[in-house]
A = this chain, B = another copy of it.
Amino acid sequence: MSAGLVTLDDIRAAAGRVRPYVRRTPILATAGGLTLKCENLQPGGAFKIRGACNMLAQLSPAARAAGVITYSSGNHGQAVALAAARLGARAVVVMPETAPQVKVDGVRRWGGDVIMAGTTLFHRQARAEQEAASRGLTMVPPFDHAWIVAGAGTLGLELLEDCAHLTTVYVPVGGGGLLSGVAAALKQMRPSVRVIGVEPDGAASMLASRAAGQPVTLAATASIADGLLAGRPGDLTFAHMRAYVDDLVTVPDADIEAAVRWVFAEARLVVEPSGAVSVAAARRDGAGKGALAILSGGNVDAAAFARYIV
């Protein structure tokens, strides 16, 4: 049953591996008591660097020399490009034609080659697999891989080490990699902490999958949280959700936008909509002391951010 779930040893090994490349991000208490874990302040602007570095660090020199490829709506692509630059590999990133410019620019900035392919996860995954096969590149999947999940889990270890009185942790959910890693770390070390996954109303594929008892694919997704539109959880992330997650909730776009605005005004931080769904859920719960929301990323176009905060 638990075959394939990442262990604490996996996560601890990942923590040692990623330490040279990943920032121990600040944990800030707001005036109302809700605490924020600032993964928007990571190199590359999102938690994704954790998984990308954990995977690239384990590739053989030959595989690194041949190069890596991934498909991503943006933040994972940037992280793979950045991790590749740091670890001496070349990276190709297949992105949707609808990716925010700031995320496309981010990939190119770290020297990654961008290929645009359609608008759905299916399109970009198919294209990436085809390129990987024809060019001998190693695939770095965005979430459904034990090394990616263990990398994300290093964030959970930091919460345990840095927060003495944690009661509830709110985690944004796209494909479920962050939720899987964080829940695996927390529940195996301090099971009293409640772990809540948060999806946008318009892309609640983990919730739908839990109801169905297996991973299901949404017919359509729609949300301002452009990083959470995977539309289907992974098999591995679904298994972690079943094993370790206390609850799944959804939030409407209006609340996500209000959360972006609240983080701007209360914490003076830039968070993207996908990274603010956790805050939206926490605020709806009236969460105060002991509650923590993970700000999973901060890559947002200036014009969009300006609209959200005014």
Interface, chain A (partner B; CB < 8 A): 23, 26, 28, 31, 38, 40-41, 43, 45, 102, 109, 261, 264-265, 267-271, 298-299, 302-303, 305-307, 309-310
Please determine whether A264 and B41 come into contact, CB atoms closer than 8 angstroms. no
Closest to A265 in B: B302
Contacts A26-B38, A268-B299 aside, 15 further interface pairs with beta carbons under 8 A come to A23-B28, A26-B26, A26-B41, A31-B43, A41-B269, A102-B265, A261-B302, A264-B270, A264-B305, A265-B302, A268-B269, A303-B310, A305-B306, A306-B306, A306-B307
Please determine whether B302 and A40 come into contact, CB atoms closer than 8 angstroms. no
Candidates B269, B270, B309; contact of A306 at CB < 8 Å: B309
Please determine whether B31 and A264 come into contact, CB atoms closer than 8 angstroms. no
Q: List, in ascending order, chain B residues with CB within 8 A of A23's CB.
A: 28
Please determine whether B310 and A264 come into contact, CB atoms closer than 8 angstroms. no
Q: List, in ascending order, chain B residues with CB within 8 A of A31's CB.
A: 43, 109
Candidates B40, B309, B310; contact of A268 at CB < 8 Å: B40
Q: List, in ascending order, chain B residues with CB within 8 A of A40's CB.
A: 268
Please determine whether A306 and B310 come into contact, CB atoms closer than 8 angstroms. yes
Docked Cα-Cα span, A307 to B306, in Å, equals 8
Candidates B268, B302, B303, B307; contact of A270 at CB < 8 Å: B268
Please determine whether A264 and B26 come into contact, CB atoms closer than 8 angstroms. no
Docked Cα-Cα span, A309 to B270, in Å, equals 12
Asked if A302 meets B298 with Cβ closer than 8 Å, knowing A28-B41, A268-B269, A270-B270, the reply is no
Docked Cα-Cα span, A305 to B308, in Å, equals 12
Please determine whether A302 and B26 come into contact, CB atoms closer than 8 angstroms. no
A120 to chain B, nearest CB (A): 28
Docked Cα-Cα span, A43 to B45, in Å, equals 23
Q: List 23 A-B contacts (CB under 8 A).
A: A26-B41, A31-B43, A31-B109, A40-B268, A41-B267, A41-B269, A102-B265, A261-B302, A264-B270, A264-B305, A265-B302, A268-B269, A268-B271, A268-B298, A268-B299, A269-B269, A270-B270, A302-B309, A302-B310, A303-B310, A305-B306, A306-B306, A306-B309
A162 to chain B, nearest CB (A): 12
